[in-house]
Amino acid sequence: MLNYIEDWLVVIVTVAASLLLILGLNRLWPAQKRRAHNELIGWQLTVLGTTYAVIVGFMLYTVWTNFGVADANASAEANSLVNVYQLAEGLPAAQRKDLRRAANAYADAVVNSEWPAMARNEGSFLATPQKDEMWRILMTVKTASPTESTAEDHAITELSQMSEHRRMRELASGSHLPGVLWYVLLAGGFLTVVSACMFGAENMTLHALQVAFFSLLIALILVAIADIDQPFRGSVHVSDAAFRRAQQAMHQ
């Protein structure tokens, strides 16, 4: 995905292209000749603009919702990991030490390896051995008291939830809007800007400013959708702060 500098470069190029478009259109079809068709052009722009606004609003809402879900899911995974670490206190000494060591190793692998891998659009499976190790440890616990049995049951529940959140994170790291929807967004934006350029305005400077502002808004929205579309990549992404807090909690 794009970084902030590339985002602004895309926005600037889009606005410049819209100004070049209106300049070229004025040369090929002078504004004086277009004024007779302003009523038809205005109707066309109203229909296109309304339809495009609905599409863009729906897409932005969808990607932002998915981003929020991915963020909450990552926090839930980290919280379950901390719970497993704390519940290890009620296990026999041997399993307690091994489980806490594996939990720390899992958090380290997620922060140091998986998050950078997801940012590069690579598989987030580097902490799988640590997760499997936690399962192996819990499956070998031999409880000798009700307290140990309760701790084991709760630890298994928390580890199950952590594994589920992990699978959801793996799915979210590879999710994105289908290409056909990007075609709709880009084509709709182009057609809407072209329709705005077709007005036969008397004040060409004011018309150019209006088109520039219009294309600027569309470019900013499309860049925002692109950045939020893949929640673990790009300039706007889900932070690993939840796992860093988990590391701090376990080290304490």
Handedness of CA 219, 4, 182, 230 (dihedral sign): negative
**Total-model pTM:** 0.85
Cα separation, 99 vs 112, in Å, equals 20
Cα separation, 58 vs 190, in Å, equals 18
pLDDT at 157: 96
Q: CA torsion 31→35→40→42, rounded to 10°?
A: 70
Cα separation, 133 vs 102, in Å, equals 7
pLDDT at 2: 67
pLDDT at 235: 81
pLDDT at 236: 86
How many CA atoms lie less than 13 Å away from 215 in the CB half-sphere?
A: 26
* One pLDDT digit (tens) per residue for the chain, 252 residues: 667 788 889 999 999 999 999 888 888 888 778 787 778 878 888 888 899 999 999 999 999 999 999 999 999 999 999 999 999 999 998 899 999 999 999 999 999 999 999 988 887 678 999 999 999 999 998 887 898 899 999 999 999 999 999 999 999 988 888 889 999 999 999 999 998 888 877 788 888 899 999 999 999 999 999 999 989 988 889 999 999 999 999 987
pLDDT at 108: 95
pLDDT at 175: 82
pLDDT at 247: 94
Q: CA torsion 147→152→155→160, rounded to 10°?
A: -150
92: helix, strand or coil? coil
Q: Report yes or no: 104 and 247 within 8 Å, Cβ to Cβ.
A: yes
pLDDT at 17: 93
Cα separation, 19 vs 46, in Å, equals 21
pLDDT at 38: 78
